[in-house]
Amino acid sequence: MQESPTSTRELYDRHVIPTYGRFDLRLARGRGCEVWDEDGKRYLDFGAGIAVTSIGHAHPRVVRVLQEQVATLVHTSNLYFTRPQAVLAERLTRLVGAGGKVFFCNSGAEANEALYKLARKFGNEGSGEPKIQNSKFKMQNSAVPRIGIITMLGGFHGRTLAGISATGQEKVKKGFEPMVEGFRHVPFNDIAALTAAVDVPGTVAVLTEPVQGESGIHPASAEFLRTARRLCDERDLLLMFDEVQCGLGRTGEWCGWKSIAPEVMPDAVSWAKGIAGGFPLGAIWVNEREVTLKDGTKKKLCDLLGPGTHGTTFGGTPLVCAGANEVLAVIEEEGMLGNARTIGTHALTVLRAIASPLIHEVRGLGLMLGIELAADFAQRAKVPDGKAPALFLVEKLHEAGLLTIPSGTHAIRWLPALNVQRSDIDEAAAILARVLATL
């Protein structure tokens, strides 16, 4: 096919629905933690596709496996068994370490959709018998449909209609009302608010990110996760973790919550982003907890979504699963969890050493790092009226050769590949310090 002579930017302007406010960068290729634009300019990639290219760009082992798989079998439909999906499911359950089963889909929003449907099925078909003898809760809860899912303010769960309903940020809902019913939000890390919310009749599940990503890297407290587990146990609710951004190595653990409260085990988890290093794949893991159904029979939670209840054409193709298997094997064999922990600690140290009045706070876990800008950044740095300070800084960093991700108006994220080197961190920190000094 003949390539159009029109510029990439013009083709987008004419033909791509403008749902994204894109930066004016036309990226053409990548290797490791570096990318190059169409003009050959090099950037240090500390966004990694928003926590997606978890082992960097074009890792030779993944390239080889994908090339072999693409020439062997790309897709069959989920009407049949394929080896790469089976092996990946086994690997993921091993990484969680508590039995259970996995369902494959294509994205984070879609993985969360599977969690919402699991909670609906559990609420509609489960007996809802609480473990505590709290008869008030039991009576109230049996009087209304059990469809209530509690999520967190500031959380983000994706852009589908249920995803924006679950998300605790008004800006994603605007113009798409009414929301899907059943979602209620409480302030993140607010134990009293969660404790009150779980007793609202009809509640069936609690869903939280162990580390809030989109709102600027805010980890849950260990106490909050522990309390959530206890409240869910006492009331027969599901505890579900959205690990789409913080899971599978990003915090330095396979399970992000284990960086915070390793003893807490959720009932279900969603993954996407880094799971296949850049190939589109989402998944959920569900535990083996016994569910008593309304007719008195018992089922494992991980068998509740039975044949015909849920599915997707592309979920877990041999191609994407072969890629994900290799990505996860590379993380394991090349010691990238340890790297995420030690290099993440180094990054926190060098970022905190940038003593700029334009930075309010640096926080993070592993290679999930948030840089909160000073409240008066706009005045100090003379940011043009109407422009968010985070966007302004991200663009200045682009000019200086560093890709980072804005979070809201006043934070930027560093989410480099899990095999990022100390020298890359030092280079990125030097760029940031230099840019801040010019503002």
The answer to whether residues 365 and 251 touch, using CB atoms and an 8 Å cutoff, is yes
DSSP string of 201-246? TTEEEEEE-SEETTTT-EEPPHHHHHHHHHHHHHHT-EEEEE-TTT
Sheet of 411-414: strand order equals: 359-365, 368-373, 411-414, 405-407
Using DSSP, state whether 266 is helix, strand or coil: coil
Q: Which amino acid is at 317?
A: T
Scanning residues 269 to 288, which ones bind ligand PLP (CB under 6 A)? 272
Compare residues 30 and 213 and give the one whose CB is closer to ligand PLP. 213
| Residue 86: CB minimum distance to ligand PLP, A | 23
Cα 403 from chain centre: 19
Task: State how far the alpha carbon of 21 is from the alpha carbons of 65, 163, 172, 351, 406, in Å.
Answer: 34, 20, 14, 28, 12
Of 8-16, 72-80, 150-158, 232-240: span binding ligand PLP (CB under 6 A) = 150-158
Whole-angstrom Cα distance, residue 426 to residue 349? 10
Site string for ligand PLP, 362-401 (x = CB under 6 A): ----------------------------------------
Of 199-207, 215-223, 237-245, 346-354: span binding ligand PLP (CB under 6 A) = 237-245
Compare residues 368 and 383 and give the one whose CB is closer to ligand PLP. 368
Identify the residue among 62, 119, 204, 244 touching ligand PLP (CB under 6 A).
244
Compare residues 244 and 358 and give the one whose CB is closer to ligand PLP. 244
Q: Report the residue count for the chain.
A: 439
Identify the residue among 57, 59, 121, 157 touching ligand PLP (CB under 6 A).
157
Under the criterion CB under 6 A, does residue 158 sit at the interface with ligand PLP? yes
Compare residues 214 and 236 and give the one whose CB is closer to ligand PLP. 214
For residue 378, the surrounding DSSP H or E stretch is: helix 377-380
Compare residues 49 and 128 and give the one whose CB is closer to ligand PLP. 49
Under the criterion CB under 6 A, does residue 424 sit at the interface with ligand PLP? no
Under the criterion CB under 6 A, does residue 113 sit at the interface with ligand PLP? no
Under the criterion CB under 6 A, does residue 213 sit at the interface with ligand PLP? yes
The answer to whether residues 74 and 317 touch, using CB atoms and an 8 Å cutoff, is yes
DSSP string of 321-351? HHHHHHHHHHHHHTTHHHHHHHHHHHHHHHH
Token pair for 361: 């706070």
Cα 289 from chain centre: 24
Using DSSP, state whether 179 is helix, strand or coil: coil
Token pair for 37: 């634009």
Instruction: Single out the residue of 138, 51, 5 nearest to residue 340, CA to CA.
Output: 51
Compare residues 114 and 429 and give the one whose CB is closer to ligand PLP. 114
| Residue 270: CB minimum distance to ligand PLP, A | 7
Site string for ligand PLP, 40-69 (x = CB under 6 A): ----------x-------------------
Compare residues 126 and 344 and give the one whose CB is closer to ligand PLP. 344
Site string for ligand PLP, 91-110 (x = CB under 6 A): ----------------xxx-
Of 60-68, 170-178, 242-250, 395-403: span binding ligand PLP (CB under 6 A) = 242-250
Under the criterion CB under 6 A, does residue 214 sit at the interface with ligand PLP? yes
| Residue 400: CB minimum distance to ligand PLP, A | 25
Beta bridge pairs of residue 277 = 279
Compare residues 137 and 285 and give the one whose CB is closer to ligand PLP. 285
Whole-angstrom Cα distance, residue 34 to residue 39? 15
| Residue 422: CB minimum distance to ligand PLP, A | 27
| Residue 93: CB minimum distance to ligand PLP, A | 21
| Buried b / exposed e along 384-409 (16+ C-beta atoms within 10 A) | eeeebbbebbbebbbebebbbbbbbe
Q: Which residues bind ligand PLP (CB under 6 A)?
A: 50, 107-109, 112, 156-158, 209, 213-214, 242, 244-245, 272
